[in-house]
Amino acid sequence: MIVVKDLQFSYENSLEIEIPDIQLKLGEELLILGKSGSGKTTLLSILGGLLAPKKGEVIIDGTSLYHLKGNELDKYRGRNIGIVFQKPHLLKPLTVAENVALPYFFSKNLSADKVQYYLGQLGIQNKQHARITTLSEGEAQRVSIARALINGPKVILADEPTASLDDENAGLVVELLKSQAKKLGAALIIVTHDHRIKDRIANRITLNSGGL
């Protein structure tokens, strides 16, 4: 269960942004639509424990994110929240498999090694030793999804995951996110302004530009 209530946020010298309350059970999906500048990424950052709100709470499975301090929050995020960004942002000095395994290391997760499993699930097993620079956009985005899934998160957050992909890859990426979230029993929240994918998820809210 992910619960968002009474969220308020404001950047310095600008209007307060009010964020609607959200309640989502584990295993459910939510699409947050909105134009550029409507605060979508800000909302996602708050949900991901990356940006403290001015007011309000984000509760994931009974844990209030912003009551965790520093290192605890980093570790909690590493283990329970998988984030997929608009661009894959893989670490270039590392291979595909090393990139996917990185969350294990950072969060000191001692669970079984699922790198091969997720590389297989996302159809990039043959690229595991490849350099990041040799991957196509679609492949790179799939690697970043594998990286988000590797710790078996309770919540998967995706920020414009399809924006830089072609139609075919965009559809594929959304279906992969949906099916993997189902398998993990995780809540899936996708933030996007990409209308190609809005019909693929029924549960959706729309943010208005100029405030939430």
Partner 1 sequence: MSIFKLSWKYLIDKPLNTGLNVLLLALGLSIITVLLLVEEQFESKMNRDATGIDMVIGAKGSPLQLVLSSVYHVDFPTGNIPLKEAQKVSRNRLIKNAIPMALGDNYEGYRIVGSNHDYLSLYQAELSAGSAWDKPFEVVLGSKVAKAKGFQVGDTFIGAHGIAAASHHHDQQPFQVVGILAPANNVLDQLIVTSVESVWYAHDDEIGPEKLDQEVNKIGFPEADQDRELTTVLIAYRNPMAAIQLPRMINSRTSLQAASPTFEITRLFELLGIGVTVIKGLALLIIFIAGLGIFIALYNSLKERKYDLAVMRAIGAGKSQLFLLILLEGLILTFLGAIGGLMLGHFFLFFIVITNEQGLVSGLNAVTFIGKEWWIIVYALIVGIVASIIPAWNAYKGDIAGQLSK
- Strand order from edge to edge, sheet including 204-206: 81-84, 155-159, 187-192, 29-33, 204-206
| 128 makes contact with partner 1 (CB under 8 A) | no
Q: What is the DSSP letter of 208?
A: P
| 68 makes contact with partner 1 (CB under 8 A) | no
Strand partners, 55: 8
| 59 makes contact with partner 1 (CB under 8 A) | no
- Say whether 58 sits in a helix, a strand or coil: strand
Between 102 and 130, name the residue whose CB sits nearer to partner 1: 102
Q: Nearest CA to 139 among 116, 157, 164, 158?
A: 164
| 75 makes contact with partner 1 (CB under 8 A) | yes
| 161 makes contact with partner 1 (CB under 8 A) | no
Binding to partner 1 (CB under 8 A): which residues in 103-122? Answer: 103-107
Those residues whose C-beta lies under 8 Å from the C-beta of residue 7, and which sit 6 or more positions away, are: 18, 19, 21, 43, 46, 53, 55, 56, 57, 58
User: Phi first, then psi: what are they for 102, rounded to 5°?
Assistant: -55, -45
- H/E element, 130: none
Q: Which stretch binds partner 1 (CB under 8 A): 12-20, 38-46, 182-190, 196-204?
A: 38-46
| 78 makes contact with partner 1 (CB under 8 A) | yes
| 35 makes contact with partner 1 (CB under 8 A) | no
| 163 makes contact with partner 1 (CB under 8 A) | no
150: tokens are 């590797």
Between 106 and 182, name the residue whose CB sits nearer to partner 1: 106
* Contacts to partner 1 by CB under 8 A: 41-42, 45, 48, 50-51, 70-71, 74-75, 77-79, 83, 85, 89, 91-94, 98, 101-107, 147-148, 151
